[in-house]
Structure 1
Amino acid sequence: MSVIDAMIVEFDSSVVQTSQRLDRYLDLICHLYPYVDCAHVEKQGDTFHASISYSVFGQLGVGSIAAPGLHYVRTTSAIGRDNGDEFVACLLNKGSAIVEQNGRQTKQGPGDIVICDTARSYKYIFSSDYQLVCLRIPRTQMLCRLADAERLTALTLNGASPMGVFAASVVRGAAGVNPTLELSAASKLASSVIDIIAASIETELGGLKAPRDRHVELWERAKDHIDANLSDPEFNVDCICDAIGVSRRTLNRVFAIHGTTAVRCLWQKRLDASHAFLAEGRAKHIADVAAACGFSDFSHFSRAFKKSYGFAPYQLLKQKST
């Protein structure tokens, strides 16, 4: 299931036969989120109780989870089952947790936020009852805002810090958003939520990043050059290589570190720009938007836009014109 699938889910284990509650809960967790193996900390038998609320708006999947202590383990084999290509940002409202990824381990308490990369294995361990708000953020949406997101997993954004308090309030607010919002408003709101999460993590955890290396510098220069040339339909990967003085092979390695390719990044940035044109009512014709964002093939643009956002560009244009 992709993050852009329209879905509203409400689950409470109390309506399920007691002997099936745990299995039903785990099945739903693995359907709504990237697949994980689970272990129950204590044998609770008929006392097991859990609830899930989940909805989607814009590019975000937002879930509220209340459950007893469980160990969630995302293994290499689990990654192969769903090809997870996103980040999850988790705000703990009650309980405590230990999160492990990238050879790091961090403790999470109430009010703290931690991100995990679903493309790599991790452990999320709860030893007692907990309540959690979890955001599913597409990889491209996070990396275009926070280039070092993959290096900042399993680090705690302290809920007592100014940015931690701010980010936590935004995550809680996202969990209360009406998922039936019209497309334009939902997309803008989702984008703003991701902006705040990324900015908060960068502000609070930026000092913990590894020293900048040549690949990071090349990554940022390449992205800046892409941003400056989105409207040019002739702009391509060779243009990027010429501008920053590297070979195609080196450029491919730079983008591979961030889980993408130069071509994919260019396309996503063009799509994001076209979405902004439409969402902000800055265009009256879809063809004009496509041309302004460097798309020479109108049909290809429409298909790619729908695949990325879950709805066709004309739907967003129609909403803005009514």
Structure 2
Amino acid sequence: MAQMTGNEQFQQWLAQINQECGNFAARPLEGEFSGHLETGYAQGLKLSTVTTANVNLYRTKNEISKQNDSWFYTVFQLEGQAIIEQNERQTVIQPGDITLVDASRPCSIIWQQRSRQTSLLLPRSLLEQQLRVGESHCVQRLGKNLPMVQMSHRLLQESMNNRELSGKESEAALEAIVCLLRPVLQQQEVTPSRRDKQFDKVVQLIDSHLQSEMLRPEWLANETGMSVRSLYRMFANKGLVVAQYIKNRRLDLCAKAIRSAADDEKLAGIGFSWGFTDHSHFSTAFRQRFGMSPGEYRKRNR
């Protein structure tokens, strides 16, 4: 029997994702793709464990329109890291962390290294019985050091390993996970702290100077009256790296510009207008984020 090519393995993995987890699109990233999917059904618990590397899995309005979206993906990170984006918010989750992803909104998950995570489907109705669900709850990193997060991980593992759960018991486990996460999520509804307000101010400053060559961590720290070390720590507390955040914001706007650019518009000029003065660096960074060169991206999005 002939061995499958890398592209055939990728397509087979994506087909499994679409069959078991809902409608998604995907694109391989730089490096060798690997992907494996395990699914489990413990009565009322529907679980999917993805082990993969070098791929971007995402949902647009097109994928969302093809199916029921009345749930949330509760993502339990087991190994490696994942970059998750939704509602113009980005977070990086590490082993032991948890985050929520709304199935009714576009989202993106990027695995740039070997990663393993379990997604548990939470019915929207169950979550809304416990707390008011809004955009603020999605793609927030619930850190592994929080006691309720640790207990949720243990309960998930126990439920996954117990094949004898009855229907009522699995529903009780699902409700228990929601109850454990509720106080962590509710903490996000309080009045923003001084630190959160300062972070918002920095993000706004970044967005207003994305086309400027002077936009660097040192300049940001000076403009906001903090040390560079404090700036790095502020972003790290959000699961982010400041320089990577700036680069990704620029690349996202480059991609948006490319989608609407005329056929004869120079790609190097688009990159330059968003702070990429070296075309080779721009092309490499673009490929790392979107899995293809700017030219290939333009062809696909005409």
TM value normalised by structure 2: 0.57
Task: Give me the whole-angstrom Cα distance separating, in 1, the residues matched to 2:176 and 2:102.
Answer: 20
| One-letter amino acid of the counterpart of residue 195, structure 1 | C
Contact 1:133 1:171 in 2 (8 A): no
Is the CA contact (8 Å cut-off) linking 1:89 and 1:135 kept in structure 2? yes
Summarize deviations over 1:45-66 as a string: whole Å, max 9, x none.
xxx4432221223432112221
Secondary structure at the residue paired with 2:58? strand
Q: Which runs of 5+ in 2 are unaligned?
A: 193-302
- Looking at structure 2, the residues matched to 118 and 191 of structure 1 have their Cα atoms a distance apart, in angstroms, of 19
1:142 to 110, 117, 127: 127
**Within 2, Cα distance between the matches of 1:106 and 1:191?**
25
Query: What do residues 144-194 of structure 1 show as CA deviations (whole Å, max 9, x unaligned)?
Result: 12222543001000012222222222223333231x533333333333333
Tell me: CA distance 1:60–1:149, structure 2 relative to 1, closer, same or farther (3 Å): farther
Given that 1:113 and 1:158 are in contact with CA atoms closer than 8 Å, whether structure 2 keeps it comes out as yes
CA-CA distance at 1:29 after TM superposition: 0.6
Counterpart in the other structure of 1:191: 175
What is the Cα deviation at residue 209 of structure 1? 2.4
> Do residues 167 (structure 1) and 152 (structure 2) align?
yes
SS at 1:133's partner residue?
strand
Structure 2 CA distance for aligned equivalents of residues 177 and 113 of structure 1: 21
CA 1:145/1:155 → structure 2, altered by over 3 Å: closer, same or farther? same
The partner residue of 2:140 within 155, 158, 163 is 155
Report whether the alignment pairs 1:108 with 2:88: no
1:35 maps to a residue whose letter is N
Aligned-residue identity in percent: 19
2:30 is paired with a residue of what secondary structure?
A: coil
* Structure 1 moving runs of 4+ over 6 Å: none
Q: Note the C-alpha offset of 1:101.
A: 1.2
Partner of 1:297: none
Q: Secondary structure, in 3 states, of the residue corresponding to 1:18?
A: coil
- Counterpart-to-counterpart distance in 2, 1:97 and 1:203: 24
Identify the residue that residue 253 of structure 1 maps to in structure 2: none
Query: Counterpart in 1 of 2:62?
Result: 77
In structure 1, what residue type is equivalent to 2:24?
Answer: V
Does 2:14 match 1:26?
yes
Question: Quick one: which of 174, 186, 189 aligns to 1:209?
Answer: 189
Q: What do you get for the CA RMSD once the two structures are aligned?
A: 2.4
Q: How does 1:84-123 map to 2 (within 5 A)?
A: 84-123=69-108
Q: Residue type of the partner of 1:172? A: Q
TM-score between the two structures when normalised by the length of structure 1: 0.54
> Measured at CA, do residues 187 and 165 of structure 1 come closer, stay the same or move farther in structure 2, by a change above 3 Å?
closer
For 2:132, give the aligned amino acid: A
